[in-house]
Amino acid sequence: MKLNIKDTFNKELPADPNKNNTRRKVFEACYSYVTPRIPSHPTLIHVADELAEMLDLERDTQSEDFLEVFSGKKVYPKTHPFAMCYGGHQFGHWAGQLGDGRAINLMEIRANGQHWALQLKGAGATPYSRTADGLAVVRSSIREHLCSEAMHYLGVPTTRSLSLMLTGDEVLRDMLYDGNQAYEKGAVVCRVSPSFVRFGNFQLFAARKDHKNLKNLADYTIRNFFKDIKSEGKEKYIAFFQQVVNNSLEMVLHWQRVGFVHGVMNTDNMSILGLTIDYGPYGWLEGYDANWTPNTTDSRNHRYAYGNQPGITLWNLVQLANALYPLIEEAKPLEDILESYQQNFDLKYVEMMSKKLGLTQKNQEVEQLIEEVEQNLQLTETDMTIFFRELPRVQKKNTPQEAFQKIHKSFYKPLELAGATTDAWLKWFAKYIDILQKEEDKDETRKFKMYEVNPKFVLRNYMAQLAIDAANKGDYSIIEELYEVLKRPYNEQPEYEKWYVKRPEWARNKVGCSMLSCSS
């Protein structure tokens, strides 16, 4: 296995001089060197083949070298693994130093003209592990591996996942936080991203008034990942912030489009590149519900619920603005950028929803229609993915009743449709068809355009759970099958029709299918 090593983070930024793997506070450094834990019996479960190809690794994935390097058993020659130092706001409160407690950055490489950082998750304790063990269990690793790739193929900005391996070691977890600890299989995934820097990396230096390293980190990030910023002085940092705001807005807009709920949007889980990062107790909307969160830790406050994600993104950006302020020393430009976020989001949201509805007209009527569809979707439990995937079949010549029939299979409780709910939908479809008739495109053309933004296949919570249950019995075929389906989420793929169904009833309240804890 030959990798084209091009390290930057551990070449250009200050290291913690202490090389012992002891848990501690680390000051005036961006990272600490740490060697991955040696797994007792690593086995490869799954490789994302297209990603391997992009990294020029397609001929190596079955080799001993690949197994050893991406399980943490062997350090690739001339590389210097490390854990990053960062802080963050957790559930709205400043938590101080957090850091890579179970992520170890292996190396950065160049492949096919692109730059990538490769990082193991679950490869053992680091100076930032605090009271935890630095390990990951197979269920959360399957969820991270499959969802990262699924999101990529949905066109959502995200970190990627190259490989999923069992370590052969057991990990003790209290899955439900109810005092019942049990051993689970340990696993490691190799995450891939241009950079793993988070809002929290900047925040920690700012909180400690270490402005020298704050500047170091900002300059490093701009120099390597925001290459089109040419300005100098404070203008440079303002331009940087503007781009982070734009990228984060795009990311959350995609989440809303596909019905993804991150679940733990703490500032340490916000990528500076605007990529979806840290797949923990995330979930997918099945019944459309703005107030839904998959995370049990958040079940009371719903801080990170689906409908709150755009606002929380802004809240997180405000924290980043505070962290960058010492480099700019002027509040106005930062405030102006933050203010424009809301306006831009609203505009882009209408644009995105119009596309989901197949409309090109821009007017009050369309905005009204969008608001109403969101209300209607919450009248009775209605599957978001199926609704938007069936909607393109509605034709200009349809009556409201005919149109309503076409999306009928998205309802979970048909008995609840009688009366007011049906009335609301018939009214909505009457307006929708009216507006459709003013569209220039023929029905067929509009249908295919709508298919491009309304996926047929997403990683429903119960699908991941089926893959996990089988994997726990040594059967990895569902992982393989889901990976294949989710590679082409907008295609019909009739051979996989069984994955285009509403959540089965058995999954309604099953752990892992409806609610998830942070235990992973």
Enter the tokens of residue 95.
């938590």
Residue 110 pairs in a beta bridge with 115
Candidate residues 37, 46, 102, 257; the one interacting with ligand AMP per rule CB under 6 A: 102
Residue 235 pairs in a beta bridge with none
How many CA atoms within 13 Å lie on the side-chain side of 30?
A: 24
Return the residue nearest Mg ion (CB atom): 278
Instruction: Please give the Cα distance from 357 to 351 (Å, whole number).
Output: 10
**Which of the ranges 104-112, 244-252, 272-280, 307-315 carries the binding residues for Mg ion, by CB under 5 A?**
272-280
Contacts of the segment 408-414: beta carbons below 8 A, 24+ positions apart: 409/502, 410/382, 410/383, 410/384, 410/386, 410/502, 411/380, 411/381, 411/382, 411/383, 412/287, 412/380, 412/381, 412/382, 412/383, 412/502, 412/503, 413/380, 413/381
CB of 331 to ligand AMP, least distance (A): 29
- The contact pattern for Mg ion, residues 217-256, with x = CB under 5 A and - = no contact, is ----------------------------------------
Choose among ligand AMP, Mg ion, none what residue 210 binds, the Cβ cut-off being 5 to 8 Å by kind.
none
Candidate residues 126, 159, 163, 269; the one interacting with Mg ion per rule CB under 5 A: 269
CB of 516 to ligand AMP, least distance (A): 12
**Active-site annotation holder among 268, 278, 289, 383:** 268
Q: Are 113 and 156 in contact (CB under 8 A)?
A: no
Residue (239 or 270) nearer to ligand AMP, CB: 270
CB of 89 to Mg ion, least distance (A): 12
| Residue pointed to by tokens 């998750």 | 121
Residue (263 or 287) nearer to ligand AMP, CB: 263
Instruction: Please give the Cα distance from 38 to 500 (Å, whole number).
Output: 41
Footprint of ligand AMP on residues 124-143 (CB under 6 A)?
Answer: 128-129, 132-135
**Which of the ranges 28-36, 206-214, 268-276, 494-502 carries the binding residues for Mg ion, by CB under 5 A?**
268-276
Instruction: Please give the Cα distance from 464 to 482 (Å, whole number).
Output: 8
- The contact pattern for ligand AMP, residues 43-82, with x = CB under 6 A and - = no contact, is ----------------------------------------
Q: Is 268 a catalytic residue?
A: yes
Choose among ligand AMP, Mg ion, none what residue 264 binds, the Cβ cut-off being 5 to 8 Å by kind.
ligand AMP
Position 251 contacts ligand AMP (CB under 6 A): no
Instruction: Please give the Cα distance from 386 to 502 (Å, whole number).
Output: 8
Position 286 contacts ligand AMP (CB under 6 A): no
**Which of the ranges 100-108, 311-319, 393-401, 458-466 carries the binding residues for ligand AMP, by CB under 6 A?**
100-108
CB of 85 to ligand AMP, least distance (A): 10
Choose among Mg ion, ligand AMP, none what residue 144 binds, the Cβ cut-off being 5 to 8 Å by kind.
none
Instruction: Please give the Cα distance from 424 to 439 (Å, whole number).
Output: 23
Residues that bind Mg ion (CB under 5 A): 269, 278
Catalytic residues: 268
